[in-house]
Chains A and B, each alone.
Chain A
Amino acid sequence: MAKGESPLKQFEIQPIVDINFLGFDISFTNSALWMTITTAFILIFFTVPFLKVKKTNSVSDLYPTRMQVAAELGFNFINSLLADTVGKEGKKYFPLVFTLFMFILFGNLFGMIPYSFTFTSHIIVTLALAMGVFIFVTVLGFVKHGVKFFSFFVIPGLPVYMLPLLIPIEIISYLSRPISLSVRLFANMLAGHTLLKVFAGFVSALGFFGILPLVFIIALTGLEILIAFLQAYVFAILTCLYINDALHLH
């Protein structure tokens, strides 16, 4: 890091190809570049090992390769996550949760590569994802239950005089879902990367004693990789829980 450079500079968007479409600036930026890399990686990682699979009955063909085992691991992880939170009806929403989890996970992980860009550290991106989930879940609830969906805000078994107090609270907590969902992911990424950059600044500033913050950065990088996974997991499991709420109301 050059001296005097802000630790927030890493989050700056830099256009690579300027594109203007109907008066809208849809330039291909570094953010879009890393979205491309993430998408391509996920597609290659999960598709290529299974391209040569044929219908067979011999054991040697059914024995998975290393890449297949790795892809299966991700598949089964989301599969059991959905089965545990939503149950059997959750199978329909598997592609959505899988896409969300993998997109966020690899977005976060690729953001850990030095000089790369973390698109999940931008509130507009996480908010768009969270709003997408929120709108999808709300529409799903209305499609499944119609007007009865509003009974979601009424906690069963509560005395009637408590309802005027609790229904607004329930509605506010429901409406704040996309905000908490997006801010959680965005803030974690922002804080982690900023902290790494700040301590990286200390390394060059302290000269020989810079080895101490360097050791700290190494440990912190490990923690950040954990957080990258954890935040994708939290986003996916909350999406599952919201789907479950929309399907079963209470």
Chain B
Amino acid sequence: MPQLEQVEFFISQLFWLGVFFVILFTVLTYITLPKIRAFLNQRDDFVKSHISKQDELIKKAESIIENYEAKLTEAKNQASQIINDAKDKALKESEDLIKATEEKIQHEIKQTEERVAKEKDTAISELNDQLKDSATNFLSKVTNIEKGNINL
């Protein structure tokens, strides 16, 4: 087995192993690994900063949503208030109108009734006068008494 037979190369192998291992270790420790670590850290920082920024934005968005919802409820309340007011007003107005109209109608009915009654009275009195006239005429003709002397 050459591993155990070629004893004369042991020192050579140990020497070159030492040389290359030390070179590799030194360069990796002082140049390569710090470079890789810096690169990875940079990326981690970038991601972390973006995550914190994202959290901030989420908080902002949440506050905006809250604000929006508060405003929306306020607007809704206002709208329902306006609607109620308008309803009340309309109702009152229509009631007033109905009342006024009813009053007017009542008034007109009363007036008409009064007029009718008056007209009835006049008609009756006229009829009375006419009847009186014709009765007087009739009587004067029948009795030959002067019209002016007949008093019914």
Contact = CB atoms under 8 A, between A and B. Distances in A.
A87 interface: no
Interface in A7-38: 8-9, 11-13, 15, 19, 24-29, 31-32, 35-36, 38
Interface of B: 1-4, 6, 8-18, 20-21, 23-25, 27-29, 31-33, 35-40, 42-43, 46
Contacts of A129: 17, 21
A26 B14 CA distance: 9
A235 interface: no
A64 B39 CA distance: 9
Nearest to A56: B42
Interface residues of A, number: 54
A64 B42 CA distance: 12
A11 B1 contact: yes
Tell me what chain B mostly uses at the interface: helix, strand, loop, or mixed. helix
Contact of A13 (B2, B23, B31): B2
A116 to B, nearest CB: 15
Nearest to B1: A8
12 contacts: A13-B13, A31-B12, A32-B13, A32-B20, A50-B39, A64-B39, A71-B36, A72-B36, A95-B28, A102-B24, A121-B3, A122-B3
A32 B16 contact: yes
B33 A72 contact: no
A98 interface: yes
Contact of B28 (A64, A99, A124): A99
A220 interface: no
Contact of A62 (B4, B6, B12, B42): B42
B13 A122 contact: yes
A13 B9 contact: yes
Contacts of A125: 13-14, 17
Nearest to B45: A57
Contacts of B27: 43, 47
A149 to B, nearest CB: 25
Q: Pick from A24, A46, A56 the residue with the most CB of B within 10 Å.
A: A46
